[in-house]
Amino acid sequence: MTPFLPFRSLFCALFLAVSVSHAGEDVNILFLGNSFTFRHELPDLVETVLEEGDPDTNVNVKRITYGGQNMFKHSTYYFSQTFIEQSTITNEEIEARIEKMKAFLELNEPPNPEEWTAHSKALHPGKVPPFKGIHSHIRSAIRNHEALLKENPKTKWDYVVMQSYQDVSADPTEAYGKYATLLAKTIRENGAQVILYMTSPKTQNAEPVTEPLKVEEAEKDIAVGLALAKSLRPRAIVSVPLAIKMIQTGGTDLTFRYVNDGHPNQTGAFLTSNLFYAAMTGKSPEGFAYDTVVETKAKNGKNPDGGELEKVFDEATKLKIQKAAYDAVQEFNWLATAE
């Protein structure tokens, strides 16, 4: 198999283009995240744009997602590393992890209170959420493990995506950076490459803007992404904070989140999926036919703002977003080499 080519040294500046030499080849991508991954079925959108860019590539995606959760909880309490390891892990090892999670459900306090508190305070000083608040997610993780026990396809992943979500500390060795680094070791040990998907919930605009929102937040996230590019040397970094900041500079009528919902709207999802393409291949998606995003959270058949679930982008808007995605990736790569 000849999947997406490996990541060059950061000193070479660019992520290499996809090259698949034989029709029918598979590229397998696992996404770890929360609703910023499962809304609009983002993995399916990434699959669509990658396959349009290289029709000879058969992209297979799977997601392990828990609402509102981050890589700390994915790795420590939900054992999402099981799914990274699924091509080699034994049933006995899966069963042992299920038993550990069942034991967590008997606890009112975290089994590792120091780590739980340190992680919480690194992001929200003085605020430590109750451990019982994640019990429902632990139950979901148990069900996911039981399903894998019942039918394990033994998929060997080519790429594993780790999503950030309000867990980016100014210190890249803490919070998202710390747990993405821990999981990256498992990813590489299992023959896959790392992709970091950095969301931008605080800087997405729900209304037109004349200048970038919350620049300090965006710059912090960009700086952490650049630090992780150097320390982890991932296959790609999908920096939504940088892309949105660049689009907002000078003002924009484009909006990237709903008014009545903090999640990305269809435009935010379209931008993100095109960023994945540009970051993973080093090529621009400009001119691709892909132009439709469907909201997956419906209320009375409408999206959170009362609009249509399906959004089809007109040609001018589509090209504008496609170009913006490529420009943001080029800018991030340039910044990475300038560090």
Distance of CA 167 to the CA centre of its chain: 13
**Residue 299: predicted pLDDT:** 94
Q: What is the mean pLDDT of the chain?
A: 92
Question: Partners of 33 in the beta sheet?
Answer: 65
At 25, the pLDDT band (50, 70, 90 cuts) reads confident
At 66, the pLDDT band (50, 70, 90 cuts) reads very high
**Residue 305: predicted pLDDT:** 97
What are the pLDDT digits (tens) for 105-115? 999 999 999 99
Which residue, 171, 281, 155, is CA-closest to 220?
171
**DSSP letter for each residue of 103-163:** HHTT-SS-SSHHHHHHHHHHHSTT----GGGGHHHHHHHHHHHHHHHH----PPPSEEEEE
What are the pLDDT digits (tens) for 253-275? 999 999 999 999 999 999 999 99
Set out the domains of the chain in order of their start, with CATH numbers.
29-66+157-338 (3.40.50)
Average pLDDT of the segment spanning 64-87: 98
Does residue 9 have a pLDDT over 80?
Answer: no
**Residue 74: predicted pLDDT:** 98
Average pLDDT of the segment spanning 180-192: 98
**Residue 24: predicted pLDDT:** 62
Average pLDDT of the segment spanning 199-216: 97
Its pTM stands at 0.93
**DSSP letter for each residue of 229-296:** HHHH--SEEEEHHHHHHHHHTT-BS---B-SS-SSB-HHHHHHHHHHHHHHHHSS--TT-S--EEE-S
At 14, the pLDDT band (50, 70, 90 cuts) reads very low
